[in-house]
């Protein structure tokens, strides 16, 4: 197994084995806070290498480049462990918002297309860009908006049809059924609606 796939398999195995485990409130908060701190520090520590005044250390840069993804994944593992096995907190309630269901279905498509607006903007620029807080916020919001719109198109017209086609080819069963009653008409209409496909598997 490659390392990323191996980590996913091990994580799934750990969740399966510990599915009946219940962490105390203190341990839940400890894992949650530790996970957020690890992710935050790992993410923002990369800004140290953009400071022109700070001296460059090849060994330090090499260690950071080789370990930052793994350390960030460790922080995410702490957070997920707290959510899955820990006691209920207001943060877990926040992350249980039903709106994350359609967003999660767009996550892979977002990963595929999120850099398209960024590359297009960089290619169209004729002068150097100035980085400040206002620009960072505005660029982030615009990238998110354009990325979500592009990922929605990709999800509806490429990912979903391919998934249904693969399901049909592998199971040999068709999801089509005869429409006999008004309730059947309603069900078929719901399944053909884009919002239904976003909020249901």
Q: Which of 40, 45, 39, 37 is nearest to 63 (CA)?
A: 45
Tens-digit pLDDT profile for residues 130-178: 777 777 788 888 888 888 899 999 988 888 888 888 888 888 654 555 5
What residues have CB less than 8 Å from 82, skipping those under 6 apart?
A: 23, 28, 29, 31, 32, 35, 89, 92
d(CA 107, CA 100): 10
Q: What is the pLDDT of residues 48-104, one digit of tens each?
A: 777 778 888 888 888 888 888 889 988 988 888 888 888 888 888 888 888 888 888
60 Rama class: left (phi>0) / alpha (psi -120 to 50) / beta: alpha
Top-confidence residue, 44 or 19: 44
Q: Has residue 3 got a pLDDT over 50?
A: no
Residues in the chain: 201
Domain boundaries, the chain: 1-96, 98-173
Nearest to 36 by CA among 96, 65, 79: 79
Per-residue confidence (pLDDT) for residue 1, from 0 to 100: 33
**Span 24-46, mean pLDDT?**
88
Query: What is 25-53 written as a DSSP string?
Result: HHHHHHHHHHHHHHHHHHHHGGGGGG-TT
Kindly give, in sequence order, each residue whose CB lies less than 8 Å from that of residue 178, ignoring residues fewer than 6 positions away: 184
């Amino acid at each position: 197994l490659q390392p990323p796939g191996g980590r996913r398999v091990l994580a799934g195995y750990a969740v399966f084995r510990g599915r009946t485990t219940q962490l105390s409130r203190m341990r839940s908060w400890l894992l949650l806070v530790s996970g957020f701190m690890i992710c935050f520090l790992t993410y923002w520590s990369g800004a140290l290498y953009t400071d022109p005044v700070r001296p460059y250390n090849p060994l330090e840069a090499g260690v950071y480049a080789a370990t930052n993804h793994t350390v960030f994944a460790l922080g995410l593992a702490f957070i997920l462990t707290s959510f899955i096995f820990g006691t209920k907190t207001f943060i877990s309630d926040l992350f249980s918002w039903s709106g994350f269901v359609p967003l999660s279905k767009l996550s892979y498509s977002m990963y595929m297309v999120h850099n398209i607006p960024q590359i297009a903007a960089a290619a169209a620029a004729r002068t150097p860009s100035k980085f400040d807080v206002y620009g960072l916020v505005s660029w982030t919001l615009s990238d998110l908006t354009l990325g979500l719109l592009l990922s929605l198109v990709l999800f509806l017209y490429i990912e979903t049809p391919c998934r249904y086609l693969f399901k049909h080819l592998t199971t040999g069963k068709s999801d089509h059924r005869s429409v006999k009653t008004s309730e059947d008409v309603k069900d078929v209409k719901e399944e053909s609606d884009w919002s239904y496909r976003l909020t249901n598997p």
